[in-house]
Amino acid sequence: MLSFYLIWSGFYFLSLLGMRFCWRTSSRKAQGNSKDHLPITLIIPFRNESHQLPILIDQLSKFKESKVEILLVDDQSQDESNDLAKGLTKELSNIRVIQSTGTGKKDALAFGITNARGELILTSDADCRFPENWIEEMTRPFGDEKIQMVSGTVQVEGKVSSLTDFQRLDWASISLLNQVSNLSKNPLMCSGANLAFRKSAFENVGGYQGNLQYLSGDDEFLLKKVIREYGTESFNMLLGKEVLVFTKAENSWNELIQQRARWASKWGLHGIGFHATASLLPFFFQLIWVGSFLLLLFGSRGFLVFLGVWSLKILAEKLALGKVLSSFEIHVGWRSFVYTSVIHPLYVIRVGFESFNSKIQWKGRNIKREIIVDSYGDE
């Protein structure tokens, strides 16, 4: 057992160093010419977001791309969000507020895409903040005709706390894993909070048909369909700070675990293959780290091995994830790295078990049980 953990920690350290190198050699600005001649529509679905809408609309009003159409799609809000959005945008001619005729985020997005005048579609969320030239940079790669989808990176902003730093490091690990999978020609995931694609490609692959019954997964399922239809060369992942979108950090551990469990609940829907395997591996890796506490049963020698393997783990994560965060000019101290490194295995295991919970809720909806009927009447 002692030998296994020495080998395991060495493997983990070298793996993260390799992943760090992937980020260092690939973090660059978007290449290509901006597609000024193609109309662009930004679609942001919202549900019960009256507290976020004033901040969001104030930011959207500052975009310099006056020709960009912005659609705010109300996903059957139960508060005053719809009326508030209409009131705040009445003087902004390029922003329209429309109400989805369906139920759920996918239906809201699909409704927005149907009503969009643009050929290039950008999507994001109501709690996001955007860099000044975000639209220009996210649409630049479409100067290459083979590009059908572009993904940008996401980070969190929130009050200074260990929980916020934990989420920053967690998002950094997601970005790093995405980049490695992208370089291996097996893109794993993308975030609908920072996504762009051609409307024609969306329509050609059938949009969200086939997974409309799941409230989440609008981004990942669409990515798989685009890759299947157009190949991996049709997807471009951008890493630069100029396309970095900030989303609101969760305020409690329970909210964070519920959010991640909602995301993780999709893993079994991808079938058997690379995607499902890559979704399960982190869970089993964390079991190995938790199992390392058994080393303490082996006396002083076991204690020294325990300290050694955890020191390598923390150092590897500092080097790899610290590189990602530094490219975004985000600083996280050593204390947060140590804290996150120790807590993360337990967190991943808890999220894994919670993903099987049939009572996961999102904005008042049960993501496991609710069946959404698409526009063709099929489940």
CA distance 208 to 217: 9
* Residue 176 CA to its chain's centroid (Å): 12
Cβ neighbours of residue 34 under 8 Å, at least 6 residues apart? Answer: 136, 139, 140, 143
> How deeply is 335 buried, as exposed, middle or buried, from its count of CB atoms within 10 A (0-12, 13-18, 19+)?
exposed
Q: For domain 31-254, give the CATH superfamily.
A: Spore Coat Polysaccharide Biosynthesis Protein SpsA; Chain A (3.90.550.10)
Can you give the pTM of this predicted structure?
A: 0.87
pLDDT per residue rounded down to tens, the chain (379 residues)? 999 999 999 999 999 999 999 996 655 455 555 555 789 999 999 999 999 999 999 999 988 666 899 999 999 999 999 999 999 999 998 999 999 998 888 899 999 999 999 999 999 999 999 998 999 999 999 999 999 999 999 999 999 999 999 999 999 999 999 999 888 888 888 999 999 999 999 999 999 887 665 655 678 889 999 999 999 999 999 998 999 999 999 999 999 998 888 877 765 554 545 555 656 777 889 999 999 999 999 999 999 999 999 999 999 999 999 999 999 999 999 999 999 999 999 999 998 888 776 565 555 555 553 433 333 233 3
Q: Within 13 Å and on the Cβ side, how many CA atoms surround 292?
A: 27
Which residue has 């395991």 as its token pair?
Answer: 8
CA distance 44 to 72: 5
Quick one: which of 97, 103, 102 has its CA closest to 43? 97
Domain map (residue ranges) of the chain: 2-23+274-361, 31-254
**Radius of gyration of the chain, Cα coordinates, nearest whole angstrom:** 21
297 DSSP assignment: G
Could you tell me if 238 and 138 are in contact, meaning their C-beta atoms sit under 8 angstroms apart? yes
Quick one: which of 205, 255, 254 has its CA closest to 226? 205
Within 292-333, residue ranges assigned H as helices are 299-327
129 DSSP assignment: B
Structure tokens that stand for 132 in this block: 């000044």
Burial state string for 3-24 with b = 16 or more CB within 10 A and e = fewer than 16: eebeebbeebbeebeebbebbe
Quick one: which of 162, 159, 171 has its CA closest to 334? 162
> How deeply is 254 buried, as exposed, middle or buried, from its count of CB atoms within 10 A (0-12, 13-18, 19+)?
exposed
Quick one: which of 378, 364, 281 has its CA closest to 104? 364
Structure tokens that stand for 140 in this block: 């630049």
CA distance 265 to 284: 16
CA distance 260 to 266: 11
Terminal CA-CA length for the chain: 50
